[in-house]
Structures are given as structure tokens and as C-alpha cells.
Structure 1
Amino acid sequence: MRQAEVVVYGATSAGVCAAVAAARRGLDTVLLEPGRHAGGMTSGGLGYTDVGDARVLGGMAAEFRQAVADAYGVAPGHYAGPEPHVAEEIFLSWLERAGVEVVFGAPLGAVVTSGERIVSVGEHAAGVFVDAGYEGDLLAAAGVSYRVGREDRSLHGETFAGRREVVPGMHNFPPWISPFRADGTLLPQVADGPMAEVGAGDGGVMSYGYRVCMTTAPDRIPFERRPGYDEEHWELGRRLFRHWREQGVEPRAGRLVGLEPNLPHGKCDGNSLGPFSLSVLDRSAWAYPDADAAGRERIRLHHLHHAQDLLYFLSHDPEVPAAVRAELSRWGLPADEFADTGHLPHQLYVREARRMLGDRHLTEHDLLQGRLHPDVIAMGSYHLDIREVQRTWREVYEHPDPVPMVVTEGYLSVGVAPYPIPYGAIVPRREECSNLVVPVCVSASHVAFSSIRMEVQYQMLGHAAGLAAAQAAGSGKGVQDVDVTALQEELRAAGQVLSL
């Protein structure tokens, strides 16, 4: 059994920051990562960094931003973000310099608890643990309460909770597109079964996908037909393009997958834009948070194949407008990115999985009203950003018979002013676990989490989690008994912004 002072599970950007922060304090720190890479989405395809109000960017998030600038010899913020491999190089250099022991290929082992404390995870014991994974697997295994998916609007009195109205918008499907084949069976990529009532909780999570790094460089890897490519799987896309053609709409390739060269060296971060995108909307992600390893792998491959096949479809299918195919043919996968995963990202974009029910539970009211929290450890500022939750169908009551139509539901974007994130939102209830800190699957409602979930926030919360873990490990006290005033002083000294 390896005995450490702090064990961090998950080498996301939050996990890296937590481990480095604890190690810089001189604590013996181990970082366990199930995969083979460090950085999570920051190095796994999400090159374009969603910042919000840059004034709240501090601590290790600002340190990372400066490291990116130094890597390219530019001013901070000059680029929307780093190339994926540069992001990972920065994180690995931090870990090495801080003396963190990093163990790759380390899936969550048996979690042993005693009373309200975690004793060990697999072959690693520690005084304090940090769950920095996107899924919240350690907190769940430790018996900490959590919630998955959308809550009912009545639970917290949130205006934006629960199932959303189906309304027009750039991410929603246009009307009149049938979800059915000629034989009456449902098309692929459309979820079946009724939607919950508007405002009702249905457990639906924001859609997942892959953020694909692309380039126009001469050595790019072309978008090729995967051996398992299914022509019929893309009939819905063909119907969408036919509809646009009939309506005189000329879609641009850049508005389908985000072909803006917003990263260094002319690379772009392919995003999920519009009603038919890199996001998978067939409700398959809903099962992911609580699925076992085999179930998650099936869902991951489903999403990976969707990304591969969408890029091939958009660049080769004759029903796709010629201008879109021509533009996509200029792009491909970078030869110098993700070499060990076929040049596609190593990280599935898990926008939302488990969310802890902790000491303090943030809701939309905290964010929209800018409620003050005396135990603030970081600030958020990104808008409420709920990505599409499902693509399904409904009957629209037209004369003389109802007409079935494809609909997309769930998208929401609401601006917020900078708001404080309290320490209580990253620690469990005392009676459930006294030596665990959770900087990713924070205690927040589905609506509030949609703003907190950005990578820069994870970096700042990871920083705070690492320092809190170090303080708790050093004192032998529970994480709920951390001296928050001392923690805030330490964070401020490291450049964390706790108020404007």
C-alpha cells in the first residue's frame, strides 16, 4: 500500500492544479489517472478556452494562461487557447517540477472507508483525497450523495430548471422534417419516447461529444470513411440539407463544425454548432454517469464514431452542399496532435455527469442574484450555458392530421455577472465524508452547474481544493474544518480573485 498525504483522482485540469498546489505546499501527493494523458478537456480538444469575464481569472488559471502565452511568445489571451499537445506539455511540466507522483492507467480501485473517512483508493492510502474526475466516481464510491441530470423546476424554484420549451434557435431543428422512414420506423439519431412535461425533471444531462482539433496544414490527415460507417445513419442530415435547400438556406461549413482558425499555427477547435453537429443528441449520454466501465466504453465509442463519421459525411456525401464539401476538404486532423488515439482527442467531452449534494448547494438564484458567500474561494462569470439535451420528435396538430416533426430541446444561454463560488460547494456533508474535496462535480443544480463547468473554473477550484487538502492533511482535521480565512489568504497571495 502506497501511503501518501494527498491523493488526487483524475488528471483533469482541476486534478493537475489540485495535485500541484498540494505538492507545492510540500505534501507527498499522488495523482491517479485512469487514462494516459493529463489535462482532461483542456488538452483533449477544448483548445478554445471559455473565459467569461477575464477579470475573475486568477490563481493557477491565470498561471496557465501566462504559460500558454510564454509558450508562443505572445501576450496572454492573444490566442483563444493552446494547441492540445502544448496544454499537456505545460501540465506535465508543472507536475514534474512540483514533484507529484503521477500514475497513469489507474482506474478507480476499491474504495475503503471507515466511518466518514476514505482510507484508501486501490493501492493508495492518504489523509485527504480529491475527486477531480468529470464523472464523480470517487465521491459516489465513498457514499457521498449526488444528483444526475435535470431537476424539477419546483425543487429550487429555478426559472430555467427542468425540461425546456421547444423554441426556434440556431441549435434547434427547423420544422417539418419527419423523423420516420417510409416504413414508419424511426430514423437513427432521433430518440424515441415522450418528453417530460415542460419544467419537469427528467434526469437528462447536457449532450456529450468530441471537440475535434483540425488544420489546413499540408500534412493533415484527411477525413476518411471508417470501416463501420453506416450510410443510413446519416439520413437525418440529408433531410436537413434538403430542407435548407428548399428554403433557400445556404449553410456555411464553418457554422456546422466551427472552422475558425482560433488556435496557434492555424488550427481550429471544432465545436458543436447548429442542429446537427458533433454533439450526440440521442439521449445516450443520459446513461453515462452511472454506467459501469463497459457501458461507458460503449457510449464513448458511439460518440467517437459519430465525430469521425460526421466529418466524413460533411466532406463526402452528395446531399451535402458542394460548397460545404469543398471547404471541409481543405481541412483534416493535425498530424502532430493525438498521435496515440488516431489523431482524434483522447477525452470525451463529458459536459455534466454527477453533481455532489454537498455542504452548500448552488442554484440559479446564487448566480443570477450574485449572492455573497463569506467562504468564497473563486469566482465564476460564464453565462448559464446549457447545451442541447435531446433530439426527439413530437406531433404538431395541423389540419387534417397531426404531423410528426424532429425537435431539439434543452439549449439555453443566459448571461450572468461575476459571482462567488463558496468553499462549501466543493466539500461533502460532514456525516458523509470528512476527507474528500470535489472541485469538478461540485454541489450545484443542473442550471448553476452549466456556468461553473468551464475549464478555467475547474483550474481555479482545483487550486483551492489542493490547498484545502494540504491544510486538512497537515492538521488532521476534516475538510469541513479547514480554516477558510487562511485558505483565502493563501489563494489571494497566489493571485486568486475572490471579489471585484
Structure 2
Amino acid sequence: MKPRSAAGHPRLLLTAIALASACAHLPPSSVHHDLVVYGGTSAAVIAAVQAKELGQSVLIVCPDAHLGGMTASGLGWTDSGNKAVIGGKSREFYARLKAHYDDPAAWREEERSESRHYRADSDAIWVFEPHVAETLFEELVREAEVPVLRGRWLDRDTGVEKSGAKITAIRMESGETFTAEVFIDATYEGDLMAAAGVGYHVGREANAVYSETLNGVQTRNARSHQFKTKVDPYLTPGDPESGLLARVHAGEPGAEGEGDHRVQAYNYRLCMTDAPSNRVPFAKPEGYDPAQYELLARALQSGARHVFGKFDPMPNRKTDTNNHGAFSTDNIGMNYEYPEASYERRGELLEEHERYQRGYLWFLTNDPRVPMEIRERMGRWGLAADEFTDNAHWPHQIYVREARRMVSDFVMTERHLRGTTPTPNPVGMGSYNMDSHNVQRYVAFDADDVAYVQNEGDIQINPGGPYPISYEAIIPKSAQCTNLLVPVCLSSSHIAYGSIRMEPAFMILGQSAATAACMAIEAEVAVQDVDRERLRTRLLAAGQVLEYVAPPPEGAIPLSKLGGAICDDSEANFVGEWTPSVSTSYFAGAGYRHDNNEPDGKRAIFTVRLPAPGRYEVQAAYSAHPNRASSVPVTVEHAGGSTTVSLNQRRVPTVDQIFQPLGVFEFSGTSARVTLSNEGVDGHVIADAIRCVSRP
């Protein structure tokens, strides 16, 4: 059994036959190419087109029947972050989508003027229908005359031939062999990378591995997509002997900040519609078991109403339906095997994921335990009849949010994204939140030893703005492979990958990888020896964005002008949901965070790096306003213990209208930890920056 995206899947067999006929003119496997791209993702298409435009012979070889990966498989609500750093062919792709929707004929189920996301004066559009994206990917390879061989599965056991550290050929399970000067692994799983003997990691690293704060087990930070009430985990409520509910895992979650084998949850990004003429009602899946959704039933009966929170609108009354809430479309804990599993086992896991998600839809629409208002509203929705027409209107590609991640001489980490450690030789930029979905669901206990269900692993932290992605992260160690580039399963920690893993960034890195591959071919050197300055020059000429200087918002004071030892909110750790803002002057750096006036135990934790032990005046930055809290608890940890100071954020700070002194304290080490809390406050709490100024 092959995974669902394969032409070998029974439902896609007719498609595979048609593709085989259509591709009969393609070059045989005996033809040597300058570049072979393995994979059918968005990164693969962009890489191949770029290489062809640079004059190299190129071939896409992929297991997929359909090109474009997640961009063409339901992820139409683009996780773009700061769009100003999306350049090159990635931006051209979204511009061509915009050109499609400029045509009034593209709007069949609604007027163009009704869409909140179409702007006539914009150069691009960031929300779109799956079939429109897939059509565009097919146009790109056709226009560039890039041959595509589909339904080809790498022999992962013995299918990579090498001479020393150089790949000479890759062989498919069909026996076909492809040779090239350089190869690109553009799969979500990193199968070619692994088969070539390149080192990689699966799961979460411990925080200590790369000096991070958001990696590993994160029970304290897992506040989003969480159960709002304490839902009993046992088959018979209150009775542990009765066993656990389905989809609740036995065992402890693990030590805080420690690494584990767990992978953030996958789901299918469903394209749904409420347009009667295009709606396919949800069907009861084969093997449906309502007991799998007992936990959801209990959550709904206790008041949860999260179901419709991520029905993100697409053109023509469609959605990109994503996970939202404690029990949703993410199949938490059921994908740990997937990254390294055999093709057959992956196929079984994908079928289980589809059965779970189809059952979820059926349950919400039909089960009497679901509140009537949810059932009735859900019943107005269905799958879009004009999407994924060869796959029963179900997406071809599951959302593999992470699988293998290469471990090279350089690893992108939280520190690089936050800008506290320099990133060498950028070949693109990212900007999205450091975003990990939940990885496990376990039994927790409150102070009275009452058991309840808890999710763990969800992190949504803004890195503080756009950041560069290094060329060193897409090339392996030279001792392992000298002619392979990996723009998707790149060298990154779990939490950094949570931001990098967005489709626009994959296309950016695909273009840069192809440019570097062409330079290596032209100069007859290893990919590790490509001239970095020449690469930078060529990427900039191709429209890639490699650095970004944001215009300072009104009221912003650059950190470099403030003096002292400072920890900005962009470097702080937050417990609970804090919202970035620049609304009220003055503030340190690019902005500040506020707690949404939700006094529910949120915390902002600042760790200031001190130049040396000694006495320091600790100062808190905030922008004053009448809606602020008048008594924010601020706790300073120092050599003598800890001191909590009450901070009135309605009053204008006394130091340059931005900093308010909290006191002078002795510090025996080279860091100062200061925590703001919103416990019991009477207004908005602002977390901007903490400064330590040396005092005699």
C-alpha cells in the first residue's frame, strides 16, 4: 500500500494511467541530467523551473500524481507572516494567482467585491482555491518545459548510489535509475536525504541542545488549543480502572524542556463549501466508531464551542478548514512513526488519519450528543465538489508539518530567529510565528488529585519580526554528501522549523537551492564550495529578499539608543496569549505585547544578560494609558531572593517617558530574571522591555 499522494493508491489509479500515457514522450531514465529534483512539492516545482531558466537540464521525479504539495492540497489560507520578505518566484506565484482572480469569470459562487481578501490594487493574493494553485504549478512546468515523472518511489534501502560523498544515481522501486550532477530533495519527509546517508533528527530536541527556551516538552506554555474545562479522561468518569478514553495517551508527558520522539500533529486541510450547488455532504466513513469522539462529546457538553474557529474563507464560498481547539482535525499523537515508516506503513497511517477526520465530520453533523446548534450549522457544510475530483473531493496531500530535519554543520535555532545569534549567508527569509501544533494528549491532575485531559506541545510565539535563513542550513555536512541540497527538510531545530516550514518559505528556498545547484554545476564544485557572495548577488538579481529593515513605527525607540542591559519583549518568554501592538507611544524596539485584558494568570518572563555580577537598577518599559492596570505584579529574582513590586502602568514612566525604576538589586550571576504577571489586575498589562543599569 502506497501513501495517498501516490499514483499507486487505488483511488488514483486511473489518474496514474492517464499520466503515464501523457508522459510517454518524457526522456528515459538512462538520460543524464544536470539536476534531478526528487519530490512534487511547491519547492520542487520552483526549484526545477529556476534551474531550467538558468540553462540546466532538469528532471522532476516524484511519487506524487499531483504537483504543488500543500499549496495545491487545501492550504489556501497562506501562512505568510510578513509578506514584504516574500520575493523571487515565490512572490511571482502568488502574483499569478492574483491575475487569475482578476478575471470576473473566476468568481462563480460570489462576487469579487464580496471577498475580504481580494484587493484590486495588490500585486498578489494569499488566499486561493486548491485546483487553481495546482493548475498554476502545471502551467509553470509546462512553460519551462520541465519533464515530470510521477508515481516514482525511491528505493530507500539501496536506491542511492554514491562515489565517496557524491551521489551518482538514484534508483526507484520500479528499477528506473536517474543520474545527475546535483540532486535536490524537495520532499516533506526527506527520504532522499536519509537514503543518501545524511544525518537528521526526528522529534523535539531538549532546550539544552541548542540553548533554546521553546523546544522539548512544553506543558507550561501549552495554553492554546486547550480544553477550557477539566474533562474527565476515563471511560467511566472518575474510575481509572475503567481505562482511558480513545485518543488520550497513557503515561507522563515528560520532563519540561526535555527532548522526545514526538512529532507535531498532522491533518488534512479540507476545502469545504456551503454553496448548495457545489456541496458534497459528509459521508459516514467505513469503520466509523463513535467511541473515538467521546472526548469531543464531553468537551462540547461542558460548553466548548470551538468547532468553527478555523473555517478560513477562500474564494467562491469555500474554506481552508484547519485545526482549532482542544479536539479538532489534528490527529494528535498518531503520527510518530510516519517520518521513518515504510511506504506501506505510511499508507496505513494516512488511512487512519483520513478515517479519523472523516469520522470527526460525521460525528459533528449527526451524533445526538453534539449540541443541536452545532449539528445544524455543520450540516450546511460539505466537501467542495469541484476540488480533488479524482480523490472523492479529499486532499491528495496530508499536512506533514514536520518529519525528518537534517543536521548539518549549521542548525537554524530559536536564537537565530529571534536575532540574538547572527545567521550567516542568508538565501531567503521567514517571519511566521514559531508555531508547533500539539504533539500529545495526556492525563493531568489538579491540586486535589482530580484527573483531567490536557494537550501538550502547542507553541505560538512571534520571533520578533522577519529573520534570515542560512544557505548553510540547506546543505549537508561535506563528509556526508557533496551534491545534494535540502530546501524543505533543512537543518533546523524543532521550534525554529515551526516558523520556517511555511509554503512561501519553501518556494523561496527551492529557488535558492536551484540557483546554488546551477552554480555548483557551472564551477564543477561541491555545493559546500559554492561562492557565497556570488550566490547572494544572483539571488538578489532574481528578486529574492535577503534582508529586511522595517520602518520604525511611530513612537518606537531603537534598542541601540537606550543603553544599559536590555531584554526586549521579542526575546522574552510568554505564558498565555499576548498580543503584539504598536498603538501607544513610547516603546522600546519594534513594539510591545499586551494581555488582551484577560487576567487569567498570564506571565511575561524577561531574562536580562548582565555584563558582570553587581548592583543594578531594574527598570520596566511600558506605554502608559488610562486603560492599563494600576497594580501589575513584577517579580525580580536577585541574589537576596525575590522581590515583587507593584507597577502602575497608568502613570507615565519617570525615565525618558518609557522606563519606570523597580528598585536597585544585587545580582551574583550574569543574568537577571524579571516576571510580569496579570494575576488579579484591573486593566491591560503591557510587556515591553526590562533594562538593568549598573549602580554603585
Distance in 2 of aligned mates of 1:175 and 1:70 = 47
Distance in 1 of aligned mates of 2:65 and 2:260 = 34
Distance in 1 of aligned mates of 2:390 and 2:409 = 41
Q: Cα distance 1:78–1:131, how it changes in 2: closer, same or farther (>3 A)?
A: closer
Q: Tell me, what secondary structure is at the counterpart of 1:126? A: strand
- Say which of 473, 487, 511 aligns to 1:463: 511
**Contact 2:85-2:545 within 8 A present in 1 as well:** yes
**Contact 1:372-1:420 within 8 A present in 2 as well:** no
Distance in 2 of aligned mates of 1:486 and 1:359 = 21
Residue of structure 2 equivalent to 1:437: 485
Residue of structure 2 equivalent to 1:98: 144
The C-alpha deviation readout for 1:209-268, integer Å capped at 9, x for no partner, is: 111011112231001111211121111111111111xxxx5x15422xx2242x111211
Distance in 1 of aligned mates of 2:73 and 2:532 = 33
Deviation at 1:404, TM superposition (A): 2.1
**Contact 2:128-2:315 within 8 A present in 1 as well:** yes
The C-alpha deviation readout for 1:415-440, integer Å capped at 9, x for no partner, is: 12111111101000111000000000
- Say whether 1:108 aligns with 2:154: yes
- Say which of 195, 210, 215 aligns to 1:156: 210
Distance in 2 of aligned mates of 1:198 and 1:64 = 41
Q: Tell me, what secondary structure is at the counterpart of 2:246? A: coil
Residue of structure 2 equivalent to 1:391: 441
Determine which structure has greater relative contact order: mean sequence separation of CA pairs < 8 Å that are 6+ residues apart, divided by chain length.
Answer: 1
Q: Tell me, what secondary structure is at the counterpart of 2:198? A: coil
Distance in 2 of aligned mates of 1:339 and 1:469 = 36
The C-alpha deviation readout for 1:59-99, integer Å capped at 9, x for no partner, is: 11111110110111145477542210110111111111111
Distance in 2 of aligned mates of 1:70 and 1:474 = 35
**Contact 1:7-1:32 within 8 A present in 2 as well:** yes
State the TM-score, normalizing by the size of structure 1: 0.95
Q: Cα distance 1:89–1:370, how it changes in 2: closer, same or farther (>3 A)?
A: farther
Q: Tell me, what secondary structure is at the counterpart of 2:453? A: strand
Q: Tell me, what secondary structure is at the counterpart of 1:138? A: helix
- Say which of 224, 227, 231 aligns to 2:283: 224
Deviation at 1:383, TM superposition (A): 1.3
Task: For 1:78-477, list aligned pairs within 5 A.
Answer: 79-109=125-155, 110-122=159-171, 123-166=177-220, 169-182=223-236, 184-218=242-276, 219-244=278-303, 251=305, 253-255=307-309, 258-261=310-313, 263-281=314-332, 283-369=333-419, 371-398=421-448, 402-416=449-463, 417-477=465-525
Q: Cα distance 1:168–1:6, how it changes in 2: closer, same or farther (>3 A)?
A: closer
**How large is the Cα RMSD of the aligned pairs?**
1.5
Residue of structure 2 equivalent to 1:40: 69
Structure 1: segments with no counterpart, 5+ residues = none
Higher relative helix content: 1
Deviation at 1:320, TM superposition (A): 1.3
Q: Cα distance 1:241–1:497, how it changes in 2: closer, same or farther (>3 A)?
A: same
Distance in 1 of aligned mates of 2:520 and 2:67 = 25
**Contact 2:266-2:400 within 8 A present in 1 as well:** yes
Q: Tell me, what secondary structure is at the counterpart of 2:478? A: coil
Q: What is the aligned-residue identity percentage? A: 41
**Contact 2:426-2:546 within 8 A present in 1 as well:** yes
**Contact 1:175-1:406 within 8 A present in 2 as well:** no
Higher relative strand content: 2
Q: Cα distance 1:120–1:62, how it changes in 2: closer, same or farther (>3 A)?
A: same
Distance in 2 of aligned mates of 1:388 and 1:339 = 31
State the TM-score, normalizing by the size of structure 2: 0.68
Residue of structure 1 equivalent to 2:88: 59
Deviation at 1:359, TM superposition (A): 3.1
Q: Tell me, what secondary structure is at the counterpart of 2:279? A: coil
Deviation at 1:475, TM superposition (A): 2.3
The C-alpha deviation readout for 1:30-65, integer Å capped at 9, x for no partner, is: 111102010000001111101111110101111111
**Contact 2:306-2:325 within 8 A present in 1 as well:** no
**Contact 2:286-2:355 within 8 A present in 1 as well:** no
Deviation at 1:474, TM superposition (A): 2.4
Deviation at 1:193, TM superposition (A): 2.3
Deviation at 1:403, TM superposition (A): 2.2
Distance in 2 of aligned mates of 1:79 and 1:98 = 23
Deviation at 1:388, TM superposition (A): 0.9
| Aligned amino acid, residue 262 of structure 2 | G
**Contact 2:91-2:124 within 8 A present in 1 as well:** no
Deviation at 1:313, TM superposition (A): 1.0
**Contact 2:68-2:134 within 8 A present in 1 as well:** yes
Number of corresponding residues = 488
Distance in 2 of aligned mates of 1:170 and 1:138 = 35
